[in-house]
Protein backbone atom coordinates (compact mmCIF):
# COMPACT_ATOMS: atom_id res chain seq x y z
CA UNK A 1 0.00 0.00 0.00
CA UNK A 2 1.14 3.52 -0.76
CA UNK A 3 -0.52 6.50 0.89
CA UNK A 4 -0.54 9.78 -1.06
CA UNK A 5 -0.82 12.94 1.03
CA UNK A 6 -0.94 16.43 -0.49
CA UNK A 7 0.68 18.51 2.27
CA UNK A 8 3.76 18.00 4.42
CA UNK A 9 1.70 18.31 7.63
CA UNK A 10 -0.70 15.61 6.40
CA UNK A 11 2.20 13.32 5.49
CA UNK A 12 3.80 13.82 8.93
CA UNK A 13 0.51 13.05 10.70
CA UNK A 14 0.06 9.88 8.64
CA UNK A 15 3.62 8.71 9.31
CA UNK A 16 3.18 9.39 13.03
CA UNK A 17 0.07 7.25 13.17
CA UNK A 18 1.11 4.48 10.76
CA UNK A 19 4.79 3.85 11.28
CA UNK A 20 5.12 1.24 8.53
CA UNK A 21 2.97 3.02 5.94
CA UNK A 22 4.72 4.22 2.80
CA UNK A 23 3.61 7.86 2.58
CA UNK A 24 4.43 10.10 -0.38
CA UNK A 25 3.56 13.78 -0.85
CA UNK A 26 1.78 14.90 -4.00
CA UNK A 27 1.64 18.64 -3.40
CA UNK A 28 -1.53 20.72 -3.33
CA UNK A 29 -3.72 21.23 -6.39
CA UNK A 30 -4.14 19.53 -9.75
CA UNK A 31 -0.89 20.75 -11.36
CA UNK A 32 1.33 19.60 -8.51
CA UNK A 33 -0.52 16.27 -8.37
CA UNK A 34 0.08 15.64 -12.07
CA UNK A 35 3.74 16.58 -11.77
CA UNK A 36 4.42 14.43 -8.68
CA UNK A 37 2.57 11.38 -10.03
CA UNK A 38 4.63 11.57 -13.22
CA UNK A 39 7.76 11.14 -11.06
CA UNK A 40 6.38 8.42 -8.74
CA UNK A 41 6.79 4.87 -9.88
CA UNK A 42 3.73 3.02 -8.60
CA UNK A 43 3.67 -0.74 -9.20
CA UNK A 44 0.45 -1.77 -10.95
CA UNK A 45 -0.53 -4.15 -8.13
CA UNK A 46 -0.01 -1.63 -5.31
CA UNK A 47 -3.04 -0.35 -3.43
CA UNK A 48 -3.29 3.45 -3.57
CA UNK A 49 -4.81 5.44 -0.72
CA UNK A 50 -5.26 9.20 -0.82
CA UNK A 51 -5.42 10.62 2.71
CA UNK A 52 -5.53 14.13 4.09
CA UNK A 53 -7.87 16.96 4.95
CA UNK A 54 -10.93 18.27 3.13
CA UNK A 55 -13.71 20.79 3.32
CA UNK A 56 -17.28 19.77 4.11
CA UNK A 57 -20.12 20.85 1.85
CA UNK A 58 -22.78 19.18 3.98
CA UNK A 59 -23.65 20.55 7.45
CA UNK A 60 -23.92 16.94 8.67
CA UNK A 61 -20.16 16.48 8.03
CA UNK A 62 -18.57 18.28 10.93
CA UNK A 63 -14.98 19.27 11.64
CA UNK A 64 -13.02 16.16 12.66
CA UNK A 65 -15.38 13.73 10.92
CA UNK A 66 -14.04 11.41 8.23
CA UNK A 67 -15.22 11.39 4.61
CA UNK A 68 -14.82 8.22 2.55
CA UNK A 69 -16.11 9.16 -0.90
CA UNK A 70 -18.38 6.84 -2.84
CA UNK A 71 -17.31 8.65 -6.02
CA UNK A 72 -15.09 11.50 -7.15
CA UNK A 73 -16.35 14.41 -9.20
CA UNK A 74 -14.74 17.47 -10.79
CA UNK A 75 -16.06 21.01 -10.32
CA UNK A 76 -17.29 22.21 -13.71
CA UNK A 77 -16.74 18.85 -15.45
CA UNK A 78 -19.19 16.00 -16.02
CA UNK A 79 -16.76 13.12 -15.32
CA UNK A 80 -17.22 10.89 -12.29
CA UNK A 81 -14.56 8.48 -11.01
CA UNK A 82 -15.36 5.43 -8.93
CA UNK A 83 -13.38 4.74 -5.77
CA UNK A 84 -13.05 1.91 -3.27
CA UNK A 85 -15.03 2.81 -0.12
CA UNK A 86 -14.38 -0.50 1.67
CA UNK A 87 -12.38 1.15 4.46
CA UNK A 88 -15.47 2.99 5.78
CA UNK A 89 -16.56 0.06 7.98
CA UNK A 90 -13.11 -0.30 9.55
CA UNK A 91 -13.03 3.41 10.34
CA UNK A 92 -16.49 3.27 11.93
CA UNK A 93 -15.35 0.26 13.96
CA UNK A 94 -12.42 2.35 15.22
CA UNK A 95 -14.84 5.01 16.51
CA UNK A 96 -14.82 7.58 13.71
CA UNK A 97 -17.89 9.45 12.49
CA UNK A 98 -17.73 8.46 8.80
CA UNK A 99 -19.68 10.00 5.92
CA UNK A 100 -19.97 8.43 2.49
CA UNK A 101 -21.01 10.29 -0.63
CA UNK A 102 -19.56 12.19 -3.58
CA UNK A 103 -16.41 14.27 -3.12
CA UNK A 104 -15.78 17.03 -5.66
CA UNK A 105 -12.37 18.24 -6.77
CA UNK A 106 -11.75 21.97 -7.12
CA UNK A 107 -8.58 23.71 -8.26
CA UNK A 108 -8.76 26.30 -5.45
CA UNK A 109 -10.02 26.64 -1.88
CA UNK A 110 -13.82 26.71 -1.83
CA UNK A 111 -15.73 29.00 0.54
CA UNK A 112 -19.03 30.84 0.95
CA UNK A 113 -21.50 30.77 -1.93
CA UNK A 114 -19.34 28.44 -4.01
CA UNK A 115 -19.32 25.93 -1.13
CA UNK A 116 -23.12 26.13 -0.95
CA UNK A 117 -23.50 25.65 -4.74
CA UNK A 118 -21.28 22.55 -4.78
CA UNK A 119 -23.25 21.14 -1.85
CA UNK A 120 -26.56 21.75 -3.64
CA UNK A 121 -25.13 19.85 -6.63
CA UNK A 122 -24.94 16.76 -4.42
CA UNK A 123 -21.34 16.50 -3.18
CA UNK A 124 -20.68 16.19 0.54
CA UNK A 125 -17.03 17.31 0.57
CA UNK A 126 -14.38 19.06 -1.52
CA UNK A 127 -10.61 18.79 -1.88
CA UNK A 128 -7.98 19.84 -4.40
CA UNK A 129 -6.27 16.51 -5.19
CA UNK A 130 -8.24 13.26 -4.96
CA UNK A 131 -10.14 13.53 -8.26
CA UNK A 132 -6.96 14.32 -10.18
CA UNK A 133 -5.03 11.50 -8.53
CA UNK A 134 -7.73 9.02 -9.56
CA UNK A 135 -7.80 10.52 -13.06
CA UNK A 136 -4.01 10.12 -13.38
CA UNK A 137 -4.24 6.43 -12.37
CA UNK A 138 -6.81 5.01 -14.80
CA UNK A 139 -7.81 1.44 -14.15
CA UNK A 140 -6.34 1.51 -10.63
CA UNK A 141 -8.30 1.00 -7.45
CA UNK A 142 -8.02 4.16 -5.35
CA UNK A 143 -9.26 4.59 -1.78
CA UNK A 144 -9.79 8.11 -0.44
CA UNK A 145 -9.97 9.02 3.25
CA UNK A 146 -10.29 12.67 4.24
CA UNK A 147 -10.71 14.38 7.61
CA UNK A 148 -12.95 17.46 7.58
CA UNK A 149 -11.01 20.65 8.43
CA UNK A 150 -13.53 23.32 7.40
CA UNK A 151 -17.30 23.21 7.12
CA UNK A 152 -20.26 25.49 6.44
CA UNK A 153 -20.06 28.18 9.11
CA UNK A 154 -16.44 27.24 9.93
CA UNK A 155 -14.61 28.63 6.92
CA UNK A 156 -10.99 27.85 6.13
CA UNK A 157 -9.57 31.37 6.33
CA UNK A 158 -10.21 32.13 10.00
CA UNK A 159 -7.97 32.22 13.05
CA UNK A 160 -9.84 29.24 14.53
CA UNK A 161 -8.49 27.11 11.67
CA UNK A 162 -5.21 26.71 13.58
CA UNK A 163 -7.01 25.07 16.49
CA UNK A 164 -9.05 22.89 14.13
CA UNK A 165 -5.91 21.94 12.20
CA UNK A 166 -4.25 20.48 15.29
CA UNK A 167 -7.35 18.45 16.11
CA UNK A 168 -7.78 17.22 12.53
CA UNK A 169 -4.13 16.20 12.14
CA UNK A 170 -4.55 14.12 15.31
CA UNK A 171 -7.57 12.45 13.73
CA UNK A 172 -5.55 11.83 10.57
CA UNK A 173 -2.88 10.07 12.66
CA UNK A 174 -5.58 7.81 14.11
CA UNK A 175 -6.87 7.14 10.57
CA UNK A 176 -3.32 5.99 9.68
CA UNK A 177 -3.51 3.37 12.44
CA UNK A 178 -6.58 1.90 10.76
CA UNK A 179 -4.90 2.01 7.34
CA UNK A 180 -1.87 0.27 8.80
CA UNK A 181 -3.95 -2.68 9.92
CA UNK A 182 -4.49 -4.33 13.32
CA UNK A 183 -0.80 -4.19 14.31
CA UNK A 184 -0.89 -0.40 14.15
CA UNK A 185 -3.99 0.07 16.30
CA UNK A 186 -2.53 0.35 19.78
CA UNK A 187 -5.73 1.72 21.30
CA UNK A 188 -9.24 2.46 20.06
CA UNK A 189 -9.64 5.79 18.31
CA UNK A 190 -11.42 8.43 20.34
CA UNK A 191 -14.86 9.48 19.23
CA UNK A 192 -15.30 13.12 18.32
CA UNK A 193 -16.91 15.00 21.17
CA UNK A 194 -19.90 17.18 20.35
Nearest to 173 by CA among 2, 9, 6, 29: 9
Instruction: Give a three-class secondary structure readout of 81-143.
Output: EECCCCCHHHHHHCCCCEEEEEEEECCCCCCHHHHHHHHHCCCCEEECCHHHHHHHCCCCCEE
Residue-level pLDDT at 187: 37
Q: Count up the domains in the chain and report the number.
A: 1
- 132: number of CA atoms within 13 Å, CB side? 23
Is 193 within the bounds of a domain? no
* C-alpha radius of gyration, the chain, whole number: 15
Mean pLDDT is lowest, of 12-21, 91-100, 140-149, 157-166, for 157-166
Tens of pLDDT, residues 112-156: 888 888 888 999 999 999 998 998 888 888 899 999 998 877 666
CB of 62 within 8 A of CB of 72? Answer: no
Q: How far is CA 109 from the centre of its chain?
A: 14
- Domain of 99 in residue numbering reads as 13-184
Tens of pLDDT, residues 26-76: 988 888 888 888 788 777 778 899 999 999 999 999 999 999 999 999 887
Q: How far is CA 79 from the centre of its chain?
A: 19
Is 5 within the bounds of a domain? no
CATH classification of the domain holding 93:
3.40.50.1580
User: What's the pLDDT band for 160 if we cut at 50, 70, 90?
Assistant: low
Is 1 within the bounds of a domain? no
Whether this model's pTM surpasses 0.75: yes
Is 4 within the bounds of a domain? no
Is 194 within the bounds of a domain? no
Is 7 within the bounds of a domain? no
Is 156 within the bounds of a domain? yes
Mean pLDDT score across all residues of the chain: 85
Residues in the chain: 194
Is 70 within the bounds of a domain? yes
Mean pLDDT is lowest, of 22-36, 89-103, 154-168, 175-189, for 175-189
Amino acid sequence: MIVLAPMRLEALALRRGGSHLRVRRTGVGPERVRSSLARLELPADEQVVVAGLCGSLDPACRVGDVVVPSELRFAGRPEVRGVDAGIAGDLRGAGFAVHEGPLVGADHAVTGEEREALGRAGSIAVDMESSWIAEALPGRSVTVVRVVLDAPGQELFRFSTLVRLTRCLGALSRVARVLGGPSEVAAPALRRSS
